[in-house]
Amino acid sequence: MNWSQFWAQIQSHVKLIYTYQNGNRGDFGHTLGGSGLGAGPRVKLGSKPESSQRPGVGSDLAMIPSMKTPKLLLAAALMSNLAAHHVEARKVRGQDYNPAPPARPVLESVQDLGVELKPKAKWQMTMTPVAGVAFSDATGSGTGDTRFKTGFSGGAWLDLGKSHWAISTGLLYKQMGFLEENNQIFRETQMDYLSLPVMAKWLLKDRWDRSNFYIKGGLLLSYLVSSNSYLEISRGNGIAPMTFNNPPSTEPRNSFDWGPSIALGGSFEIATGVLVTAEALYYRGLNPVFSINGNDWFNTGFTLSGGLTFPLL
C-alpha cells in the first residue's frame, strides 16, 4: 500500500464516523487538510476548533498529527481519538449511552487499515550438537600421490544474532590427515584437531525456530591435539615391506592451523522448538602442516554433519 492509498482509507474512516456523529448524512462540515470531505468550514490539521464546530469534533481534529508524522503513528493517533470522540459526542447530545465492549488494541485497528506491521527484530540464540564424517587431504607442491582420508567430526555450534544475521561459533573436534601411495610407499597420517569457528551466518528466513536454509563463512582456528602416522615401504621381490609407526619425518611442523571456511546447510522443524540440521562445510588451511622434500603441505577438506538445533533465546 502506498501513502496515497493509506491516506484515502483514513479519510474514508473519518467521513463515515463524523457523518454518524453529526446526525446528518449531508452535513460533513469538516475537512482534513483541504482534502474536501464535505462543504462545511475547513479545519486544518493541528488547528484549533472554530466556535461553530460541534462539541468534541474540533478538539479531535486538532489532535490529529501532521502528514509529516510516520503513517503508523498517524493511524494509531487517529483511531484512538475517533473512538474517544464517538463516546463523548453521544453523551453531549443526550443519547442513550450503552457502554461498548473494550476496544480492540490500537495495533489491530491499524492492521484493519491494510497496513502491514512487522514485529521488532529480537535477539535469538540456538545451540546445535552435531556429528558426522570428515574427508581430508593435503594440498601443496608435491602432493600428487595423496588422496582423501575419512575420519570423525563432531562438536557443537552456538549461534547468536537478530533477524537474518548471526555470529556462529562453537567447539569442534575433527580427525584430519591424508593417504599417500605410490609404487614403493604407502603412508597414512591422521591429525586430531580441536577447532574454534568464528563465522558470519545469513539465514533465508528471520525465524530461527522454523524450517530454514543458511550460508556462513569465516575462519576456523584449530589446535593439534594428537597425530599418528603409519609408513610402509615396499622392497619388492617378495620381501616383506618395512613398516614404521610415527617416523620422525612425519611429525607435523605446526601445532596451530587456521584458514577460511564456508558452509551451506538447512534446518527442518520436527517438533515445536526442535529442528534437525544438516550441513556441508569446506576448510582450507593456510599454515603449513608438513614440509616434505622442501615443499609445504597444507590441510584441506570438508565435513558432512547433522544434529539437533534447540533455541536458547
Domain hosting 245: range is 125-311
Whether residue 119 lies inside any domain: the answer is no
Model confidence, pTM:
0.61
Judge if 221 and 188 occupy the same domain. yes
Where b means 16+ CB within 10 Å and e means fewer, 79-99 reads bebbbebbebbbeeeeeeeee
**Of the ranges 5-19, 37-51, 73-87, 288-302, the best mean pLDDT one:** 288-302
Mean pLDDT value across residues 159-185: 92
Q: What is the largest CA-CA distance in the chain?
A: 119
Whether residue 286 lies inside any domain: the answer is yes
| Domain final residue pick, 51, 82, 112 | 112
Task: Work out the burial of residue 190: count CB atoms within 10 Å of its CB; fewer than 13 is exposed, 13-18 middle, 19 or more buried.
Answer: middle
Check pLDDT > 50 for residue 30: no
CATH number (domain holding residue 175): 2.40.160.20
Mean pLDDT value across residues 99-118: 54
Check pLDDT > 60 for residue 28: no
Judge if 251 and 104 occupy the same domain. no
| Domain final residue pick, 112, 140, 169 | 112
Total of domains in the chain: 2
Helices and strands in the chain: count of H runs, count of E runs: 4, 11
Look at phi and psi of residue 154 and say left if phi exceeds 0, alpha if psi is from -120 to 50, else beta.
beta
The closest of 17, 9, 16, 33 to 83, measured between CA atoms, is: 17
| Domain final residue pick, 84, 112, 140 | 112
Whether residue 118 lies inside any domain: the answer is no
Judge if 159 and 70 occupy the same domain. no
Judge if 108 and 135 occupy the same domain. no
Judge if 108 and 129 occupy the same domain. no
- Helical H runs in the chain? 3-22, 57-63, 71-92, 106-112
Judge if 142 and 221 occupy the same domain. yes
By the 8 A CB rule, do 149 and 107 touch? no
Between CA 151 and CA 283 the distance in angstroms is 15
CA dihedral of 102, 92, 14, 51, whole degrees rounded to 10: -150
Task: Work out the burial of residue 272: count CB atoms within 10 Å of its CB; fewer than 13 is exposed, 13-18 middle, 19 or more buried.
Answer: exposed
Between CA 196 and CA 2 the distance in angstroms is 48
Q: What is the pLDDT of residue 9?
A: 67
**Of the ranges 30-44, 71-85, 211-225, the best mean pLDDT one:** 211-225
Work out the pLDDT band at 127, boundaries 50, 70, 90. Answer: very high
Judge if 166 and 217 occupy the same domain. yes
Mean pLDDT value across residues 228-247: 78
